[in-house]
Chain A
Amino acid sequence: AQSVTQLGSHVSVSEGALVLLRCNYSSSVPPYLFWYVQYPNQGLQLLLKYTSAATLVKGINGFEAEFKKSETSFHLTKPSAHMSDAAEYFCAVSDPMAASKLTFGTGTRLQVTL
C-alpha cells in the first residue's frame, strides 16, 4: 500500500519569504508523485508531477519539488511567496502500474502574511 505524510497542517510565511511544504511517501515500488493546489471553494489543479525522469521538477506559478529517494521525500518549494499563493496544497502518490489512482495526503494550508 502507498501513502503520503504531509508534515504541518498549517504553514504561515511572510510575503517574499521561502515557501517549504513537506511531503514524505511510502511505497513498495518507485512511485509517481504529485502536488495539487486547491484555492477556496474550487477543485484541485495540478502544480507539478514526478514521473521518474528528472528528480527536480518545476511546476506552475514558480513552484518546484525535488524527489529524494534516500529520504523518501518530495518537498514543495517556492523562493518567494506571494499573497496569491494562499491555498491548500496536497501531495499525492500513485503506483506506476495503476498510476492514475491517487492516494492523497491530508493537506497543508498555506497562509501568506504581509
Chain B
Amino acid sequence: NAGVTQTPKFQVLKTGQSMTLQCAQDMNHNSMYWYRQDPGMGLRLIYYSASEGTTDKGEVPNGYNVSRLNKREFSLRLESAAPSQTSVYFCASSEAWQGAGTQYFGPGTRLLVL
C-alpha cells in the first residue's frame, strides 16, 4: 500500500516550457487535491477534484490545468511555466468530500523554473 505517490520528485524547467505532474493514490479515495507550498505562505490549494469526473478551482489556479484521469490519478499541468511557479507541489487525497475526512499527502515535487 503505497498511499499517495507523485512523479517526478524534482524538475527543472526553463520559462515557457510545459510539464505535467503526476499523482496517484491506491486508497480508493474519492477526492484529490493539488497544493503548492511556498516559504512563509503555508499550503495553498490550486485545484481539487471532489469525485471522479469533476474538477474545480482552488485559491491559486492561474497558470495551471488539471485532469482527473480516473479514480486513482489526478494530474497537474503547467502549460507555459513561469519563475513564479517555482515551488513544492503536493498532491493529497481524502476518502470523502464532506465530513471531516483526513487528507493524505504525497511526498511532493520540487519544481524550479529558470
Contact = CB atoms under 8 A, between A and B. Distances in A.
B102 A49 contact: yes
A17 interface: no
A104 B100 contact: no
Contacts of B106: 43
Contacts, number: 71
Interface string B26-37: 000001010000
A105 to B, nearest CB: 6
Interface string B63-91: 00000000000000000000000000010
A107 B99 CA distance: 24
A12 B112 CA distance: 30
A106 B44 CA distance: 10
Contact of B103 (A9, A51, A102, A105): A102
A46 interface: yes
Interface of A: 9, 32, 36, 41-46, 49, 51, 90, 94, 96-107
16 contacts: A36-B105, A43-B107, A44-B43, A44-B103, A94-B100, A96-B98, A96-B100, A99-B98, A100-B31, A100-B50, A100-B94, A100-B96, A101-B45, A102-B43, A105-B42, A106-B42
